[in-house]
Structure 1
Amino acid sequence: MIRILFFILIILALGAGFSWLADRPGELSLIWQGQRIEMSLMVAATLLASLVAAILITVWIVRVVWLSPHSITRYFRARKRDRGYQSLSTGLIAAGAGDANLARKMTARTKGLLSADQEPLIHLLEAQTALIDGKYDDARKKFELMADDPETRELGLRGLYLEAKRLGANEAARQYAERAADKAPHLPWATLAALDYRGQTGQWDEAIRLIDQSRAAHVLDRKDADRKKAVLLTARASEKLESDPKGAREDATAALKLSETLVPAGLIAAKAYFREDNLRKGASILEKLWKHEPQPEVARLYVRARNGDSATDRLKRASKLEALKPNNAVALATVAEAALEARELQLARSKAEAAARLAPSESVFLLLADIEEADTGDDGRIRHWMNQALKSPRDPAWTADGVTSPDWLPVSAVSGRLDAFEWKAPVSQLSGPVEDGALSSIDAAIRALPPVYVPPVRTDETVAQAPEILEPAETVVPEPQPVAVAVVEQPAVKVETSPETEKQPETIVTDAVGARKKPDAALTEPFFGHAPDDPGVRKEKPLEKTTFRVF
């Protein structure tokens, strides 16, 4: 476009010049070798312009003819290079698509058209083709050649890193990631990999330094970088908590400034303040975390902040947490635990049942079982609550890569990823739609509770007369009831030596009101006609009355 404008300007300038000469005519005389040549000024200017044009055309023709061999060679070379790049592009696309045959074909054609020194991407095409064919050793050699070339160093290191990860060579992968992070700190994959490996080995200072460099180079997002640095500071603070509480407090508070919702950092900072006898600041940190997300660990540390507190004092602190976060299952369960320790059993039961109505979980029903044991001691009711706990959803826990941990960890033990642990339920259970008027799980569990076992009153006379028929009662006996008494009269039978005079005794049975009734045949006649080797009883023996309790 610029050339066209420049050409138009030149034409306009020539036209303007000739127009100016036409308006100002004149004569031009030239004497050369004794001859006089006269012409007008316009003719002289036209001849001069034609001469200049002829010279320029002659120079162009001579230049074209002189440079024609080089131009022809350059033309064929450019055409060959274009075909090579086209083959390289097609081969890379085929390798990415997994077409091994086309990738091999394009690799051979590219090597015939282009030189590896001229285009380093040929090594990448060969490495990708070798990976598709399963020739991992050849691919690794190609990646090593690329890692030695300054132009393809990052690409080769990434290939070697991925191959080491595939083979499970974590130490080799760590070295490649560290090398890439040192040579090219602007690479996000190298930075993240180096962070993970330094986190796995506990090199918190080196990891923090690397995250600062990455943040300065704008490799990681500011929010993501702040979160990872907060996790690293929390990990370093957890190691300092026992030996250096002050240093742990400084690291934990710095982590809270970067991420206000990081619960482990808040717990460590509160523990450090409590060890320094600064209960106010430690409680303030825990209350702030509690308002954002109530967690049992926060509640447990808040309630037991001071070692010398009584159970009643702990109950007051738990009630304060409930006031900060009302209608919350974790807060209600915390109050229930504190009330159980303070022997406020009715309060503990009501709060635990309210927590179960809001969010039924395993820990809440186990808490109800503990309350039942402390209140009634009924084994049947305790087993009932434990059965409900087995059928309830699991409580939230620190989970990473499908594995739960009792404590928070900065790095996942499965994948080695930094900041992988989350506070969530390990296994989610889906529940169907609740129909109108249907009972909740806690209400149904309460209605299905077995009655409290109350042992019956046993007297000395009852135990002495009929100890074999006393059985535990299965129902609640609110008031003393009249006891029915059966009187069995057994006659005295005289012993006869003669078989003809042998006679079975007559048994008289009275019912509950004292009326006589006919005994059953099963009571008067033996199964085999008579008892074997039964000499009988004496008839002269007087009747004896036996009294016993039925219930």
Structure 2
Amino acid sequence: MIRLVLFLLLLVAITFGVSWLADRPGEVTVVWEGVAYGTTVPVALAVIAVVAGLILILWRILSLLVRSPKIIAAFSRRRRREKGWNAVTRGLLAVGIGDNAAVRQARHDAARLLPHEPLTHLLTAQAAQLDGKHEVAVAAFRAMVDKPETRLLGLRGLHMEARKAGDKAAAYAIAEEAASAAPTLGWAADAVIEARCAAGDYAGARGVLERQMALKGIDKAQYRRRKAVLLAAEAIALEHSDPLVAREKAVEAVRLAPTLVPAAACAGRLLGAAGELRKAAKVVETAFATNPHPELADVEAYLRPGDAAQDRLKRIRTLVNRAPSHRESAIALSRAAIDAQEFRQARLVLEPLLAEPSQRVCLLMAELEAAEHADIGKAREWTARAVRAHRDPAWIADGVVSDAWAAVSPVSGKLDAFVWEVPPGVSATPILEHEAERVKAAIAAVRASEEAKALETKASEAKAQEAALAAAVAEASARSGAQVDIFVPAPSPEPVAEKAQEPAVVAAPPAPSTPAPTKPAPAPVSPEPAPVPATAANGKGKPSRPAPIVALPPLPDDPGPDGETPDEPETPGKKRRLMGL
């Protein structure tokens, strides 16, 4: 708009000047070699303007002819540069889509047209990476390090190549160099922090994080989260060696990130061990309200060592009120109820979860059946269902399932990589193995109880048999008025329950005072090689084992040693039946 106004003003000025000259026509006379040339002023001005224009055009032409070699060279360079940039663009696009052939052709054209451009070195390195040529890529990145404008880009490339080759020491050194040159560089600071965490130097990792935050290289929320992770990892590492320092760091981590489960669990354990139960419970309950986790439930249950199962159940009830509708709350409450032998409550809590039970729910039901009803069959049935049930969450990082949380990933070394979720393609998790051990213990307890009851039953049966035999001996002595001999076999290492099932050894009672028949009385028969006689009827002798075997009184159809059956004559070689046996 301003240009249009200026143009109009100039046009008005020219029009005004022409009009002014037309109103005042004058004459101009020029004498050239004695000849006078005369004309009007407007014509003279027009001639002067045309001559000046011709002179300018001629000068431009001459100048162009003089500078033509430079102009042609500059045009050639410009055309070459444009082709080179087009080749770099095509190469980078081909790298993005993974077209190796196009990348190689573009790299060749870019190296021919723009051999010293930084992006040409980058394209060469990326083409070498696609072709798997490690040495070529490293050489290209080193060439970029030598130039100030591409130094950081070259360091990043060398760092990636070192990590790909598995040279952690070289990768760490390159990251340190890049972090020193640019503390706000995210990848360099992260690499240094991860390397120091892998070496257990959590204090050094926090130093890098503090410097990054001081230079505004990271936002405040991310800084608080990462610092809490580092403090929690350090507290867990010092939990047993230096509890005081570990407690301070765990409490600070909870202050920075109250919902970080490992920090809350560690702080709860250490505060509980120090006797600060109320503060520990508050830390655990705050974290559980946002992230219900079985580790937090375990910490809450065992805040005070030595508490009874009912006390633990009471604390768990308070904890689950912070997240009453969550699945972990039901599982934690049912486990505490089983430990407290509140089986009805445990069954009521687990009942809503039985429509689609997870592996832990199935194992809890197996433990409940074994503990409440001593039903090993149903316990085994629920254990078998656990194999096909839905999986439970676990700590995973980069596809790796871990028994415990860690600050960095064991695969990529990334900080704060562990998440609590259901791992894909895993049949069982570490927490499931813990629940299976509880089921095994419950089944073992049932078996031990059954064996104890069986032993008690057998012992009571043995005592009853002993009393019956003693009564029989007393009755036989009272009837015959004679002494009854008891034959006790020698002791053997077999259990009492098995000895009670041995065949009885019997002996005929001695003859009364009446004269005996001419036929000698049969001798006592015993299967044992060395019977030991003992007297029990008169109370002067004691048997050599708790369950003595005594001789029974004569049966009605057996005359005993005093006579023979008149209808059955004596037959040589035929043995008389003793006591009906």
Q: TM-score range by the shorter chain?
A: 0.5 to 0.7
CA shift for structure 1 position 195: 2.9
| Alignment match, 1:407 | 404
Going from structure 1 to structure 2, the CA distance change for 1:371 and 1:218 (only over 3 Å counts) comes to same
User: Closer, same or farther in 2 for the Cα pair 1:368/1:91, shift >3 Å?
Assistant: closer
Tell me, yes or no, if the aligned pair for 2:145 and 2:155 is still in contact at 8 Å: yes
**Residue 480 of structure 2 corresponds to which residue in structure 1?**
none
* C-alpha separation in 2, matches of 1:352 and 1:428: 29
2:192 to 194, 215, 219: 194
Aligned partner (choices 305, 314, 317) of residue 315 of structure 2: 317
Could you tell me which amino acid in structure 2 is paired with residue 61 of structure 1? I
Could you say what secondary structure the match of 2:321 adopts? Answer: helix
- CA shift for structure 1 position 396: 3.1
Q: CA deviation at 1:75?
A: 2.2
When residues 214 and 460 of structure 1 are mapped into structure 2, their CA distance, relative to the original with a 3 A threshold, is: same
Change (3 A) 1:324 1:157: closer
The equivalent residue for 1:181 is 179
Write out per-residue CA displacement over residues 276-331 of structure 1, whole angstroms, 9 at most, x where no aligned residue. Answer: 54333322221112222322221222232234644433232222224343354433
| TM norm structure 1 | 0.68
Distance (Å, rounded) in 1 between the aligned partners of 2:81 and 2:325: 74
1:378-411 Cα distance to aligned partner (Å, 9 max, x none):
6556555554555545543322234333332111
Partner of 1:350: 347
* Contiguous gaps of at least 5 residues in structure 1: 431-448, 470-488, 499-534, 547-551
Partner of 1:12: 11
Q: Give yes or no for contact 2:124–2:137 (8 Å, CA) kept in 1.
A: yes
CA contact (8 A) 1:366 1:386 kept: yes
Tell me the alpha carbon deviations over residues 491-514 of structure 1, each in whole angstroms, 9 at most, x when there is no partner.
99958979xxxxxxxxxxxxxxxx
Mapped to 2, the partners of 1:157 and 1:19 lie a distance apart of 71
Equivalent position amino acid for 2:120 in 1: I
Matched position secondary structure for 1:238: helix
In the alignment, is the contact (CA less than 8 A) between 1:25 and 1:40 conserved in 2? no
1:40-79 alignment, distance < 5 Å: 40-79=40-79
RMSD between aligned residues: 4.7
Distance 1:378 1:463, change over 3 A: farther
- Match for residue 279 of structure 1? 277
TM-score (norm 2): 0.65
The 8 Å contact of residues 84 and 113 in structure 2, kept in 1 or not, is answered as yes
Q: Matches of 2:190 and 2:43 in 1, distance apart?
A: 80
* Cα distance between partner residues in 2 of 1:384 and 1:111: 71
Query: CA distance change for structure 1 residues 293 and 92 in 2, over 3 Å: closer, same or farther?
Result: closer
Tell me what 1:526 maps to: none
How far does the alpha carbon of each residue in 1:50-79 deviate from its partner, in whole angstroms, 9 at most, with x for none? 343233223322322221222222223323
State how many pairs are aligned: 466
Deviations 1:220-267 (A, max 9, x none): 566545433331232233345556666545544544454342111222
- Contact 1:269 1:282 (8 Å CA) reproduced: yes
| Contact map agreement 2:297 2:332 (CA 8 A) in 1 | yes
Whole-Å Cα distance in 1 between the matches of residues 415 and 247 of structure 2? 22
Matched AA of 2:24: P
Within the candidate set 415, 425, 435, 1:418 is matched to 415
Is the aligned partner of 1:296 residue 2:294? yes
SS at match of 2:404: coil
Measured in 2, the distance between the counterparts of 1:224 and 1:29 equals 87
Mean Cα displacement is larger for which, 253-262 or 311-320?
A: 253-262
User: Measured at CA, do residues 148 and 8 of structure 1 come closer, stay the same or move farther in structure 2, by a change above 3 Å?
Assistant: same
Give secondary structure in 2 for the equivalent of 1:46: helix
Once residues 56 and 334 of structure 2 are traced to their aligned partners in structure 1, the CA distance between those partners, rounded to angstroms, is 104
Question: Percent identical across equivalent pairs?
Answer: 35
- Find the aligned partners of 2:5 and 2:55 in 1 and give their Cα distance: 21
Say which SS state the counterpart of residue 53 (structure 1) adopts: helix
Aligned residue number for residue 26 of structure 2: 27
SS in 2 for 1:404: strand
Change (3 A) 1:24 1:87: same
Alignment of 1:196-275 (within 5 A): 196-214=194-212, 223-241=221-239, 248=246, 251-275=249-273
- Distance in 2, matches of 1:168 and 1:26, equals 95
In the other structure, the counterpart of 2:531 is none
2:11 alignment partner AA = L
Shift of 1:156: 2.0
- Of 153, 156, 169, the residue aligned with 1:155 is 153
Which residue number in structure 2 is paired with residue 460 of structure 1? 465
Q: Is the CA contact (8 Å cut-off) linking 1:333 and 1:351 kept in structure 2? A: no
Structure 1 residues 353, 113: closer, same or farther in 2, change over 3 A? closer
What SS does structure 2 have at the residue aligned with 1:321? helix
Please say if residues 100 and 132 of structure 1, whose CA atoms lie closer than 8 Å, have aligned partners that are also in contact: yes
Change in CA separation of 1:262 and 1:375 when aligned onto 2, cut-off 3 Å: same
Q: List gaps (5 residues or longer) in structure 2.
A: 428-445, 473-499, 503-555, 559-564
Residues in 1 aligned to 2:425 and 2:125: alpha-carbon distance in whole angstroms = 44
Partner AA of 1:135 in structure 2: K
- Aligned with 1:399: secondary structure? strand
Distance 1:241 1:103 in 2: 54
Question: What's the offset of the Cα at 1:340?
Answer: 4.5
One-letter identity of the residue aligned with 1:77: R
Aligned to 1:143: 141
Where do 1:354-373 residues align within 5 Å?
354=351, 357=354, 360-367=357-364
Question: Cα 1:260–1:22, aligned 2, differ >3 Å: closer, same or farther?
Answer: farther
Asked whether the equivalents of residues 91 and 107 of structure 1 are also in contact (C-alpha less than 8 Å), the reply is yes
Q: d(CA) in 1 for partners of 2:578 and 2:30?
A: 189
Distance change >3 Å, CA 142–CA 460, structure 1 → 2: same
| 1: CA distance, partners of 2:112 / 2:327 | 73
Q: Which residue of 1 aligns with 2:394?
A: 397
User: Closer, same or farther in 2 for the Cα pair 1:260/1:543, shift >3 Å?
Assistant: closer
Provide the C-alpha distance between the structure 1 equivalents of 2:319 and 2:142, rounded to a whole number of angstroms.
60
Residues 69/232 of structure 1: CA separation in 2 closer, same or farther (3 Å cut): same
Change (3 A) 1:374 1:120: closer
- Cα deviation for residue 345 of structure 1 reads 4.2
Counterparts of 1:536 and 1:187, CA distance in 2: 112
Q: 1:125 to 1:263 in 2, by over 3 A?
A: closer
The one-letter amino acid paired with 2:421 is: K
Cα distance change, pair 20–277 in 1 and its aligned pair in 2 (3 A): farther
